[in-house]
């Protein structure tokens, strides 16, 4: 296993038993996803991971910023080298990260939900997010970087943040302390188990089972810029979100966003 010299001794015992390709810890980085994408070019093995305590240019979906107070949560990027079978279902890798977090939270007695496509919610508030970026070799997928941010400790959500939707932390919901490195190990273990199912129907069933707002009417922002009230029906095999318009029309979308207003 490749472990950089500056790796944090505190983390090591939690990761030692896991079959990672390697891991690198940096106290401060721009974005762990960028370092992971660089590492792919250097030949990083499957299940290699970049971790950081602070990101100065953390990014989320739709080029948004991802911000978290330093040392309070998890900011990590996992490098997966998909098999040929997995490449057929690469769209599911975002859910692999999100479901991994959901399963890990279950071990803490928490029922989390996935707000399609990449937000993880606890009691309707965002506790984590996933950003998958793909490294290409010509026309072929070389690797996927699954970036995940999790608000673990109380105070992880910056107060100054202009929130798109309400946010929370694991500790706020549990009302007790959580060791974030132990939680990281739980997430990794869950993802390793789930990966075996990523090409199967049961994966989509699992995703639908944890889908937030299922059968509810919500405000939806379409990629065209239009916003409309729609009913969330579920996820299909291609990871598309199936919606029902108010006139009864059905649509499957692969972009857009469910809008949850901050109170």
Stretch 142-171 residues interacting with ligand BTN (CB under 6 A):
147-149
Distances (CA, A) of 211 to 65, 103, 214, 217: 24, 13, 6, 14
CA 217 vs. chain centroid, Å, equals: 24
Among 23, 66, 116, 203, indicate the residue that binds ligand BTN (CB under 6 A).
Answer: 66
Minimum CB distance to ligand BTN, residue 68 (Å): 7
Stretch 191-230 residues interacting with ligand BTN (CB under 6 A):
none
Segment near ligand BTN (CB under 6 A); pick from 18-26, 58-66, 245-253, 255-263: 58-66
CA angle 84, 89, 91 (to 5 degrees): 130
Distances (CA, A) of 256 to 118, 214, 241: 12, 16, 9
3-class SS of residue 165: coil
Q: How large is the angle between the packed helices 93-106 and 201-209, nearest 10 degrees?
A: 60
117 forms part of the interface with ligand BTN (CB under 6 A)? no
24 forms part of the interface with ligand BTN (CB under 6 A)? no
CA angle 76, 70, 259 (to 5 degrees): 70
Stretch 69-88 residues interacting with ligand BTN (CB under 6 A):
75-77
Minimum CB distance to ligand BTN, residue 129 (Å): 2
How many Cβ atoms are within 10 Å of 214's Cβ, its own excluded? 15
Minimum CB distance to ligand BTN, residue 161 (Å): 12
Stretch 128-147 residues interacting with ligand BTN (CB under 6 A):
129-131, 147
Give 98 or 173: the residue with its C-beta nearer to ligand BTN. Answer: 98
Determine whether 144 is exposed, middle or buried from the number of CB atoms within 10 Å of its CB (0-12, 13-18, 19+).
Answer: buried
58 forms part of the interface with ligand BTN (CB under 6 A)? yes
Residue of minimal Cβ distance to ligand BTN: 129
Which positions touch ligand BTN (CB under 6 A)?
A: 31-33, 55, 58-61, 64, 66, 75-77, 118-119, 129-131, 147-149
């Amino acid at each position: 296993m490749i472990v950089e010299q500056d790796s944090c001794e505190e983390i090591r015992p939690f990761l030692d038993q896991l079959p990672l390709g390697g891991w690198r810890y940096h106290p401060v980085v721009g974005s762990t996803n960028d370092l992971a994408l660089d590492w792919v070019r250097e030949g990083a093995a499957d299940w290699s991971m970049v971790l950081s305590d602070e990101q100065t240019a953390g990014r989320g979906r739709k080029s948004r910023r991802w911000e978290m107070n330093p040392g309070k949560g998890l900011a990590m990027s996992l490098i997966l080298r998909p098999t040929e079978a997995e490449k057929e279902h690469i769209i599911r890798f975002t859910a692999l990260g999100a479901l991994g977090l959901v399963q890990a939270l279950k071990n803490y007695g928490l029922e989390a939900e996935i707000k399609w496509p990449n937000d993880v919610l606890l009691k309707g508030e965002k506790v984590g997010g996933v950003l998958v970026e793909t490294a290409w070799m010509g026309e072929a997928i070389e690797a996927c970087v699954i970036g995940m941010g999790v608000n673990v400790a109380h105070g992880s959500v910056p107060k100054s943040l202009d929130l798109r939707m309400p946010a929370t932390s694991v500790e706020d919901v549990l009302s007790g302390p959580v060791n974030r490195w132990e939680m990281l190990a739980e997430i990794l273990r869950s993802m390793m188990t789930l990966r075996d199912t990523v090409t199967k129907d049961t994966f989509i069933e699992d995703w639908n089972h944890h889908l937030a707002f299922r059968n509810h009417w919500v405000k939806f922002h379409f990629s065209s810029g239009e916003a409309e009230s729609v009913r969330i029906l579920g996820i299909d095999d291609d990871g598309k979100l199936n919606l029902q318009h108010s006139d009864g029309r059905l649509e499957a979308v692969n972009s857009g966003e469910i809008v949850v207003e901050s109170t």
